[in-house]
Structure 1
């Protein structure tokens, strides 16, 4: 009887371990992808201290492909890594980036990815028209969460930290907005295509 209890306890522990690994590898992967997208190189934009990176693209993909808790965990892990001093932000920055001009954009990734994941709905790729509707819905949610939410926080915090009016910050950031709109198109098409492969 003791052996049976021990065996079932061991099986339950192993099952719990498998569930934890299954639930955490995707957030860990997207956290690493966010770091790689920042480390791959940053393109400066004249008139703004915030460089262009592929981070918003990864945020959009995470929101479109993961449940909201996993998507939020991926971004939270990435921000936590920078907060403790790891050089995971653009240009190899770490903690100080969270109090600099790009802080609002970095913090905006968390609510942005959660909004995307909550709004995206279920993928339907059963036909070409259903797949197109899914991609269109994904595009809309990527724009709302990955552009509107992220930029709202980014503009407000950058304006507060630099003393530059929000309108001027927004005007200087139009190059980012255009680039992120393109990223949203690519992310929505990629996520819709990947969801079709996963069927």
Structure 2
């Protein structure tokens, strides 16, 4: 008669598989959450800016938070999943757009999210100490990281691609986008304060 009792060798193997599955789930839920938040922020509405075909959304704010609160691998995975969903035809971009947005005027900004969020995550530093002073210094570091990655890097991609697609000089594109830049500097400040506060709670 055969026994259904697992052999001693099979038991560690099964336990190892369960452990790996748990680690994968623990690591992957955060990127999935931020990918969904990027879609929600695009679907929540957009504010048009005269003189430019690219609307204002809360996407850059979510990108900044992702970079400040996740590792660079997790943050990059979140943005990559979001872009892949749009490339596959899902209406996850502003205005319910999908694939065509990646070849339109806003393509550079969307593609710039990926290197931008990685830069934020890599240069944000760590918050180990507690107290008001440590939180304030962390918020300053976070703001610098969010500004460099979420504004400088993203807009560099956005300006270059939009200029190439429209034929307008980069200076003209940049001037027309100043409303975005000012708004995203404010978003960087808010995101840094939120992330520093949440880091303190953790």
Q: Is the 8 Å Cα contact of residues 45 and 52 (structure 1) preserved in structure 2?
A: yes
What SS class does the counterpart of residue 9 from structure 2 fall into? helix
1:120 matches 2:124? yes
- Of 156, 175, 180, the match for 1:176: 180
Corresponding position of 1:92: 96
Aligned length in residues = 198
Corresponding position of 2:68: 64
Corresponding position of 1:75: 79
Report how far residue 2 of structure 1 moved.
6.2
Corresponding position of 2:27: 23
Cα distance in 1, alignment partners of residues 189 and 102 from structure 2? 28
1:135 matches 2:139? yes
Report how far residue 124 of structure 1 moved.
3.6
What SS class does the counterpart of residue 127 from structure 2 fall into? coil
- TM-score in terms of structure 2 length: 0.96
Q: Counterparts of 1:4-43 in structure 2 under 5 Å? A: 4-43=8-47
Q: Which structure 2 residue ranges, 5 or more long, are not aligned?
A: none
Q: Which structure 1 residue ranges, 5 or more long, are not aligned?
A: none
Cα distance in 1, alignment partners of residues 196 and 161 from structure 2? 33
Runs (4 or more) in structure 1 with deviation over 3 Å come to none
Corresponding position of 2:150: 146
- TM-score in terms of structure 1 length: 0.98
What SS class does the counterpart of residue 3 from structure 1 fall into? coil
Give the number of the structure whose alpha-carbon radius of gyration is greater: 2
Corresponding position of 1:192: 196
Cα distance in 2, alignment partners of residues 13 and 193 from structure 1? 36
Cα distance in 2, alignment partners of residues 102 and 30 from structure 1? 20
